[in-house]
Amino acid sequence: MANVVVVGAQWGDEGKGKIVDWLSERADVIARFQGGHNAGHTLVIDGKVYKLSLLPSGLLREGKLAVIGNGVVLDPWAFVEELAKLRGQGVNIDTHNLMIAENASLILPIHGELDRAREAVNSIARIGTTGRGIGPAYEDKVGRRAIRVADLADEKTLDLRIARLLTHHNALRNGLGLEKIDPAALKAQLLEIAPRILPFAAPVWKVLNEKRKAGKRILFEGAQGSLLDVDFGTYPFVTSSTTTAGMAASGTGVGPGAIDFVLGIVKAYTTRVGEGPFACELFDEVGEHLGTVGREKGTVTGRSRRCGWFDAVLVRQTCAISGVNGIAFTKLDVLDGLKELKICVGYMMDGERLDYLPTAADQQARVEPIYETMKGWSESTVGARSWNDLPAEAIKYVRRVEELIDCSVAMLSTSPERDDTILVTDPFAD
């Protein structure tokens, strides 16, 4: 059976939640493979709004197994809070349909505090993080001092982990003028939350490999977007994990041979949250239209997103890096009513034309977009479920995007509603 990876192909906020939810009807297992509760997915099902940050979107489908992989950093308190919220909305969640990788690293209160303190003192070049501790948690993971889910089950191990962790953190906190962390108090917090986390802990790598051998379909769900990748994004204005498709394997414990189709989620225009270069950013009435009609506010932070024209250069680049087989094109309806549309087809920098985004930060800040102009459409595309429902100019726009990014549209989304989707190519087709 085919297994599918879903990744954002821009700066995040492309509409992954709806697409993952839609695809999860065809999957048996939905696996989240990176990021933390800084991600934000909004789903609208039969008019009811669900907002997810940490939990896999597939939980909103009955009879599916959702897993949080080892590539995710898990805030236990945020996990418990989100679990309670979804259960309060009538979503059935228990150990029969949700698992957490035993080797997933934890986000602790000290991580969020450190995250916010560093952003506050870094007035020269803020990264624009969510302040939720994701970066510091990944730092501890790589520094081999993280506390992991499995550690919660043994007090002696937990004592050793806390001691090693605080040797590092208390030195950092001293430099930032923060109070030292009391190891006994931190241990008490962890032991209190442990019974609410440990029932979900499992060897996720083993479960997924067994499911694959049994012919079950696995949907791998990414968070954020490819342009926030720690290696290939607009560094240093990036997240602290790998957001490209290759992370699906290492972030869950399956081999790369388990991946059969990579679906890139692409918004019909471009947005980003926080700091960093954005060549196609708009500051006019069109930018205001995109932000207002597209309801461009972060699910997690509530911050307004910066908006701009579609950047084909960036999407072509991210599709190549992730090996995208097809894209899900979202929010086409936000462009309804615009008389003229522009697509970035290249950059100019110091008199030279570029067909890619350079790596150097100073060069990224200096590139100027080269636009191609297309005619817009006045008819509504909201709720379209077939190509015949779309205006001719909208179809031309989609086809031109396909040409410019060298990748075909597999799915087209025309509203936040689950079923307002045009399927061109089924990613799960064998």
d(CA 423, CA 248): 24
Catalytic one among 21, 28, 37, 41?
41
Give the three-class secondary structure for 183: helix
d(CA 58, CA 24): 6
- Residue 151 is among the residues annotated as catalytic for this protein: no
- 399 phi/psi in degrees, rounded to 5: -65, -35
Which residues partner with 354 through β-bridges? Answer: 347
Is the separation of the CB atoms in 155 and 162 below 8 Å? no
d(CA 77, CA 198): 13
- No. of helices (H) and no. of strands (E), the chain: 12, 20
Catalytic one among 13, 75, 115, 229?
13
The answer to whether the Cα torsion of 33, 37, 40, 45 is positive or negative is: positive
Q: Is 366 exposed, middle or buried, given 0-12, 13-18 or 19+ CB atoms closer than 10 A?
A: middle
Q: At a CB cut-off of 8 Å and minimum separation 6, what does 294 contact?
A: 269, 271, 307, 331, 334
| Residue in 270, 388, 403 with CA at minimum distance from that of residue 334 | 270
CA 47 to chain centre: 23
- 360 phi/psi in degrees, rounded to 5: -65, 135
Determine the longest span between alpha carbons in the chain, in angstroms.
67
Q: Is 35 exposed, middle or buried, given 0-12, 13-18 or 19+ CB atoms closer than 10 A?
A: buried
- Residue 168 is among the residues annotated as catalytic for this protein: no
Is the separation of the CB atoms in 7 and 244 below 8 Å? yes
| Residue in 89, 54, 83, 38 with CA at minimum distance from that of residue 300 | 38
Give the C-alpha distances (Å, rounded to integers) separating 275 from 38, 260, 370, 398. 15, 35, 22, 29
| Residue in 81, 77, 33 with CA at minimum distance from that of residue 58 | 33
Catalytic (active-site) positions: 13, 41
